[in-house]
Chains A and B, each alone.
Chain A
Amino acid sequence: MATVLWIVNGTLTATLLRDNDADIETVGNGFRDEGIEEAVEVIKQRLGNPKYGRHIRPDNYMVLENDQGEVLAGNLPLQPRRMGVFSTLLPMPKGPHGEPFPATLLGRGTEIAPGAYLFVGRDVRPMLATRARIIDAFVLVAIGAVAIAVAAGLYLGRRLARRVDAVARACESIVAGRMDDRIELTGGDDEWDRLASVINDMLNRIAALLENLRQVSSDVAHDLRTPLTRLRNRLERAREESATSADYVGAICAAINDTDQILSIFASLLRISQVEAGGRKLKFAAVDLSALCERVFRIYLPVAEDYGHRLTANLAHGMVVQGDQELLTQMVINLIENAIHHTPEGSAIELALAGDMGGVLAVTDDGPGIPKDQTEKVLQRFYRLSSSRGSPGHGLGLALVAAVVQLHGGQIALEDAAPGLRVSIRFPA
């Protein structure tokens, strides 16, 4: 503001002084060229003598004096012969144009010739008025700008506060234990929405890990109890009922078997939770799924035969997926073993692979299948169909398959093969 004032003031003053100097030069030129009479004429002309057809310049004052103290021309009374730029109070009660007095003149005194004193001055009031108008306009604009800035600031601040509040509320709510709360998106696709969606993704991942942890803890707590109970019971009975050392050896062998069973459940649970935690994704490499299936098929051909099943393979060549070789092997093995265990002797099992990049892996049997309402449940840990209670397994095989499929970004579907079950796994291209 002060800068603007300073610039305006300087510019206006400079203009006024330049005008004064132009007048002095014109009068001086007139004198040099044609003498004092011409100088007097120029002054009259400059001051707007109607004779010269000039409009009256109400703010222009001049006086030309000789060395006898006589006014030769001009619209001012005799002035003290002061030199240089100065301002002076106009000593007349009323100006030649009827303007109210006193007025302040800013001008320059000079000798255009020895003894010939010329003073040219201008009333500063028009300049002051201009300055005032500029300042007024400026102040108005400044007030407007500040008002708009404040309003915009308040609006943006409010908006920001609202968004921050939304994030804070969601976080507080999660801290308070409502793990499924998320930050609401405004749908504006701005940086806030992007941030919120990243935070939401992070929360989803954390929630999934927590759920995984919770699930494992509860599995360990509940489902390992069953075999541990059996083991304990066996040992107790051995203590009470064993008569010979052979009895003891038998009981100990059985107990070791039970322990191995428990360890195997434990290993499966850990494996599933490791897969579900998703860390293995970082180690993905290109896996030739066709070769992998071929290998598993070769391993299981005699196994299926010994269990009285017919295992066949129909494998497309060169199907490659980004994945984990070992987990994919276990996945295919689990699917085949699942079919072996849960179909009656003489059933046919087909391992099929269709497509090249991406594609579908399917294991189909012609056994009893799975009731439609339970296809989801069999993918859960420890879930076993009532019809399969007698067959081996802990209900973890398909849960691991589901976890491996999810890790690989695939989709698993359990379909009715009419008759039988088809487990098909679609891999992303």
Chain B
Amino acid sequence: MSNPSGKRLLLIEDDVEFATSLASRLCESGYAVEHCADGRRGLTAALSQDFDALIVDRMLPGIDGLTLVKSVRQQKSTPVIYLTTMSGIDERVQGLEAGGDDYLVKPFAFAELLARIRALTRRTTQPLTRLNAGAIEMDLVARSVTRAGRAVELVPQEFKLLEFLLRNVERVVTRKMLLEKVWDVYFDPGTNVVESHISRLRASLNAGFDSDPIQTVRGEGYRLLAIK
């Protein structure tokens, strides 16, 4: 399999059929994937090798996912995403408190996982004061945005949304990711919340310009393009 990104993932998942299928799809998306079917071996692998992200099931034979992540966290800061059927509110909170970075409940769309892995593996840890993508610049301290040097007025909701898109520039972000990370909404609302906000942001951002840097990716989400 090709591995243009050079990124390595460790998949710790006891459902071998599911894991195999998932691993091959991740490979097709450019990742090198190692798979462990139990917690003990998973922990050993996570500690002895360097991965760009861990994908961890919560219910594992040997060591459960939560304990595994806690143990890894004591020595390493490898990003962790849980992949689990445990969907309770408390279970997500527990997972993140144990040191996980993201929590995805099974079943899920592959695009959703891929988007989240991309967001995790390109994460920068330094606190930034400025973000930019192409002609768009955001000053996080002054809370101001310019596009091609022209000031863009954004209401706080639009600012938060654009900030998240800028942090994930050139990457697909899903509706679910936006709901969770921008608005703290952890369930699927019955209205087009994301679409409404994206359209407001587009209106503010594109006023006076003829190009739209926010690309709609059908069936997946949105991508902010770095265009001049």
Q: Which residues on A are within 8 Å of B, measured CB to CB?
A: 259, 263-264, 267, 270-271, 274, 280, 283, 295, 298-300, 302-303, 305-307, 324, 326-327, 329-330, 333, 337, 340-341, 392-393, 397
Residue ID in chain A nearest B158 by CB atoms: A302
Q: How far is the CB of B137 from chain A (nearest CB, A)?
A: 24
Once the chains are docked, how many angstroms separate the CA of A283 from the CA of B90? 9
A299-B185 contact in complex given A392-B190, A397-B190, C-beta closer than 8 Å: yes
Q: How far is the CB of A36 from chain B (nearest CB, A)?
A: 111
Once the chains are docked, how many angstroms separate the CA of A277 from the CA of B47? 39
Residues of A within 8 A of B44 (CB): none
Once the chains are docked, how many angstroms separate the CA of A259 from the CA of B157? 32
Q: How far is the CB of B83 from chain A (nearest CB, A)?
A: 15
Once the chains are docked, how many angstroms separate the CA of A259 from the CA of B87? 17
Whether B188 lies near A267 (C-beta < 8 A) is yes
Whether B190 lies near A300 (C-beta < 8 A) is no
Once the chains are docked, how many angstroms separate the CA of A299 from the CA of B156? 10
How many residue pairs link A and B with beta carbons under 8 A? The number is: 60
Whether A337 lies near B156 (C-beta < 8 A) is no
Once the chains are docked, how many angstroms separate the CA of A256 from the CA of B218? 14
Q: How far is the CB of A382 from chain B (nearest CB, A)?
A: 15
Whether A303 lies near B185 (C-beta < 8 A) is no
Residues of A within 8 A of B189 (CB): 333, 337
Whether A329 lies near B184 (C-beta < 8 A) is yes
Whether B156 lies near A303 (C-beta < 8 A) is no
When the two chains form the complex, which single residue of B88, B107, B187, B193 contacts A303, counting CB atoms closer than 8 Å? B193
Whether B89 lies near A326 (C-beta < 8 A) is yes
Once the chains are docked, how many angstroms separate the CA of A303 from the CA of B199? 10
Whether A280 lies near B193 (C-beta < 8 A) is no
A–B complex contacts, Cβ < 8 Å, 15 sampled = A259-B107, A264-B188, A267-B87, A267-B187, A274-B88, A274-B89, A295-B183, A295-B184, A298-B156, A299-B193, A299-B197, A300-B191, A302-B197, A303-B191, A324-B89
Residues of A within 8 A of B192 (CB): 303, 306
When the two chains form the complex, which single residue of B89, B156, B157, B197 contacts A327, counting CB atoms closer than 8 Å? B89
Interface presence of B196 (CB below 8 A): yes
Residues of A within 8 A of B186 (CB): 326
A280-B90 contact in complex given A271-B187, A306-B199, A333-B185, C-beta closer than 8 Å: yes
Once the chains are docked, how many angstroms separate the CA of A298 from the CA of B196? 12
Whether A302 lies near B188 (C-beta < 8 A) is no
Whether A298 lies near B157 (C-beta < 8 A) is yes
Once the chains are docked, how many angstroms separate the CA of A337 from the CA of B185? 14
Q: Which 10 interchain pairs have the tightest Cβ spacing? A: A302-B196, A303-B196, A306-B196, A337-B190, A302-B200, A303-B191, A299-B183, A337-B191, A303-B193, A298-B157
CB neighbors of A among B171-228 (8 A):
183-193, 195-197, 199-200
Once the chains are docked, how many angstroms separate the CA of A329 from the CA of B192? 17
Residue ID in chain B nearest A271 by CB atoms: B187
